[in-house]
Each structure stands twice: as structure tokens, then as C-alpha cells.
Amino acid sequence: MQKNAILITGAAGEIGQALLAELAAGGKSPLVTLDLQAMPAGAQPSQHVQGSVADATLLAGLAEQYRFAQIFHLAALLSTSAERKPALAHQVNVDASLLLLELAARQSMEGGQPVQVIFPSSIAVYGLPDLAAKATHAKVGEGDFNDPTTMYGCNKLAVEKLGAYYSNQYGQLQAEVLTRLDFRSLRFPGLISAHTAPTGGTSDYGPEMLHAAAQGQAYACFVRPDTTIPFMAMPDAVRALLGLAAAPAAALGRRAYNVGAFSLSAEAFAGQVQTAFPGAKISYAPNAARQGIVDSWPLDVDDRAARTDWGWAPEYDLQRCFDEYLVPNIRERYE
Ligand code: SER
């Protein structure tokens, strides 16, 4: 007999740790986590499975044990890591997602209830052709510039499409009516956490300069001072995941939503960091390839669909994010 549970893949990562804490605080259980890494001290899932999300045998074993009502599929190689190992990125970011979609499709049919699959997508699905286009299209809508320039962006867009297919058309040739899974995804801006530092992303220059300054270390930023993309505080990212998950299916007009909070340049980010940590030593040493990636990402996103369909609104604008979330928590972390 399978037990009902919630699955979180990539649970030891930045979003995973924050989401697990929130789900546990909300009394959600049982929570089954999967990650290549052990869970950090303090995180308390009902069961942690240490292994790869791309391991089909491992997933089949989990599906025998559990019936997942909800899957938060967070495991991924981020954009810089994916560029260094594109084939591995495809395996983890796409092939493993397909395994999970198959698992969720089967369990939806068997249980007669849609398994909900929640997926963090990214502004990396956008590919603005040049800085002039970036400047003139300040807030991109979900349908604009879907021309990613990175393996990671291609992977995220592919999984969005596969998720929509499994939700809407999967099994369309079969005579009987199937219960299909319910895939929902969010295109996140660069996320900033006070409690964890990112690895392998290309928006990492923001959080990296902040965490370096809080530890009294100098930081050489790998993009130009004028480089501008949207960012979001981690608590808002978790609220967005849970808000989208809680929305009634009938309210959702799409399966991939932009969510925005604030947008700022690397120079303005450095200014915030220097206000909080007056001794911070921040210099600029742009890396051409990583600069090219961030230049192809939009200045900001148009998130009106998320606001209208399921009531998205960030709690942290730029100033609250630094003053009330990042700076006090980071000080405490490194003290
Ligand atoms: N923050 C991610 C990255 O830099 C983009 O979603 O890869």
C-alpha cells in the first residue's frame, strides 16, 4: 500500500531548503526529499533519499512506496554549470524531468486525481538579441523572446512545454478519458537568500557580492556595473511556489507564469551592499561569456498574468528586501 506524500527534488539546494522549512512549519507531511547531497542539519523531512533524480530505478522504487499528491521538482544544474557540462545538464534538467512527469502521469491515472507538479523555470528562457532590444522591451511577457541562449534556458523552456503537454494532451489517442497531471511553473528572476549562497548560476554576482561583503571579503563582480536583471528575495520565491500551488486549477490561464519583484543594476546592487557594509570592497572584472548570458536576459518581467490569475504580489520590494530580510539575516549568519 502506497503512502500519500509530497516529494521535493533538489531539496538540499537554495530553494529546497527554504521551501522545506516553510512546508514543515505549515504542518505539511509526509515530506519526502531527494537530493545528491545529504540534507543540512536542522532540515527535517519525513524521509530523505540521497541519490540522483536522473536515476530511473530510484524513482521507480519511490513510486512503489509513495503516492505523491504534489511534486516540487527543484533539482537542476544552474546556467553557468550547465554551460560547462551541457550533456549532463540535459540529463538532469530535462531527462530527469521527463522521468518525473511519467511518474506523475502514471500516479494521476492510477489514483484518479491529478498529481500536481510545481516547477521553477527562469528568466533564462528569454533571449534578447542585443542590449538595444533589452532596453526597448523593459518588461517581457511570457510569450516574448522565447529564444534562450543557454543550455539551461533551453532545458527550462523544454520542461515547461513537456509539462503543458503532459497536463493537456498526454494519452490523447486513448479511448478512455485519462486523469492527467497538473503542471504549474514559475519563471523566477535571480533569487537572493540570506541563509544560503548560490552555486553555478549566472545571476550569482548579486548574492555573491553581498555574502562576500558580510564576511569582510573583497569581491570582483563578473559583469559590468550597468548590467540589469530582475531579482527576488527567497521568501517571496517560496510564497510564489506555494501561492501557485494553492490556486484553483480553473483560475489558471497558463502553465508558466512570470513573477517579478524588483530590478536593479549590478552597480545599484553594490550600492545597497556598501550602505549595509561600508567597508565592502567591490570591483568589476567582467567575464565576456557570463556577461553575454546576463545581457540576453530581460531588464524585468511583466507578471500581470500571475497577479490577475492567482493574486501574486511580492512582499519584498528592493528596500524591504535589503533592510528587513537580507542585511539583518546575513549579519546574524556571519557574526
Ligand atoms: N539564477 C539562475 C541562474 O543564474 C537563473 O534562473 O542560473
Instruction: Over range 245-266, report the average pLDDT.
Output: 98
Label residue 26 by pLDDT band (50, 70, 90).
very high
Label residue 326 by pLDDT band (50, 70, 90).
very high
Kindly report the backbone phi and psi dihedral angles of residue 187, in degrees, each rounded to the nearest multiple of 5, phi listed first: -90, 100
Residue 2 has pLDDT above 90, yes or no: no
Residue range 293-310, pLDDT digits in tens = 999 999 999 999 999 999
Query: At residue 221, what is the residue type?
Result: C
Sign of CA dihedral 259, 314, 24, 10: positive
Task: Indicate which residue's Cα is closest to atom 3 of ligand 1.
Answer: 201
- Per-chain mean pLDDT for the chain: 97
Residue 195 has pLDDT above 90, yes or no: yes
Label residue 1 by pLDDT band (50, 70, 90).
confident
Residue 206 has pLDDT above 80, yes or no: yes
Residue 218's pLDDT is 98
Label residue 236 by pLDDT band (50, 70, 90).
very high
Could you tell me if 8 and 33 are in contact, meaning their C-beta atoms sit under 8 angstroms apart? yes
Instruction: Over range 16-38, report the average pLDDT.
Output: 95
Global confidence as pTM: 0.97
Residue 117's pLDDT is 98
Residue 96's pLDDT is 98
Residue 209 has pLDDT above 80, yes or no: yes
- Residue 249 CA to ligand 1 center (angstroms) comes to 28
To test the pocket of ligand 1, the residue of 14, 79, 205, 293 to mutate (highest count of ligand atoms within 8 Å of its CB) is 79
Residue range 218-233, pLDDT digits in tens = 999 999 999 999 999 9
Residue 29's pLDDT is 84
Could you tell me if 230 and 237 are in contact, meaning their C-beta atoms sit under 8 angstroms apart? no
Instruction: Over range 43-51, report the average pLDDT.
Output: 94
DSSP 112-168: TSPPEEEEEEEGGG---SSHHHHHH--EE-TTS-----SHHHHHHHHHHHHHHHHHH
Residue 28's pLDDT is 86
Label residue 24 by pLDDT band (50, 70, 90).
very high
For the chain, percent of residues with pLDDT exceeding 70: 100
Instruction: Over range 9-30, report the average pLDDT.
Output: 95
To test the pocket of ligand 1, the residue of 203, 287, 293, 295 to mutate (highest count of ligand atoms within 8 Å of its CB) is 203
| CB of 13 shorter than 6 A to ligand 1 | no
Domain boundaries, the chain: 76-334
Could you tell me if 94 and 158 are in contact, meaning their C-beta atoms sit under 8 angstroms apart? yes
Instruction: Over range 84-89, report the average pLDDT.
Output: 98
Residue 73 has pLDDT above 90, yes or no: yes
DSSP-derived secondary structure letter, 306: H
Report the candidate in 164, 196, 205 with the shortest Cα–Cα distance to residue 79.
205
The 3-state DSSP class for residue 82 equals: helix
To test the pocket of ligand 1, the residue of 154, 204, 290 to mutate (highest count of ligand atoms within 8 Å of its CB) is 204
- Residue 202 CA to ligand 1 center (angstroms) comes to 5
- Residue 190 CA to ligand 1 center (angstroms) comes to 6
Residue 335, judged by CB atoms within 10 A of its CB (0-12, 13-18, 19+), counts as exposed
The domain at 76-334 falls in which architecture? 3-Layer(aba) Sandwich (3.40)
